[in-house]
Amino acid sequence: MSSTTELAELHELIGNLRRCVTSLAAKYGDSPATRRIVNDAERILNDIDRLDIDAEELELSRGRGVVHPPRVSERIPIPDTQYDTDFWRDVDDEGLGGTR
């Protein structure tokens, strides 16, 4: 079974869960117990939505996804010259080693 089919099945199941939870809340009213069940169902729905977002990562971990080329480290030169004093105007000294 493909992950797309599995995710579609999860969405169908969470839809059924939501309908059951809504029915229970209508039957038993607003109480701490029904609010917990509603919150749990919403949390599960959010987790499944998150799984949809992470599906590509799951495919990558199984070796079926896009292979990204390795990063090439690039050195960025930092000059040794002094910065213009206007660069530091209105900047607070965070105590990085002395006074000015």
State residue 64's pLDDT score.
Answer: 54
Question: What distance lies between CA 78 and its chain's CA centroid?
Answer: 35
d(CA 9, CA 13): 6
Question: pLDDT confidence of 1, banded at 50, 70, 90?
Answer: very low
Q: How many CB atoms lie within 10 A of CB 41?
A: 19
Answer whether residue 86 shows pLDDT above 60.
Answer: yes
* Residue bearing the bigger pLDDT, 37 or 67: 37
Distances from the Cα of 78 to the Cαs of 14, 42, 56, 91, in angstroms? 54, 50, 38, 21
Helix (H) or strand (E) run with residue 28 in it: helix 3-28
* Residue bearing the bigger pLDDT, 90 or 12: 12
DSSP state of 2: -
Task: Report, as an integer, the average pLDDT of 31-46.
Answer: 89
DSSP state of 72: P
Is-contact 10 48, C-beta < 8 A?
yes
Q: Identify the top-confidence range among 4-8, 9-13, 65-69, 93-97.
A: 9-13
* Residue bearing the bigger pLDDT, 20 or 91: 20
* Residue bearing the bigger pLDDT, 89 or 59: 89
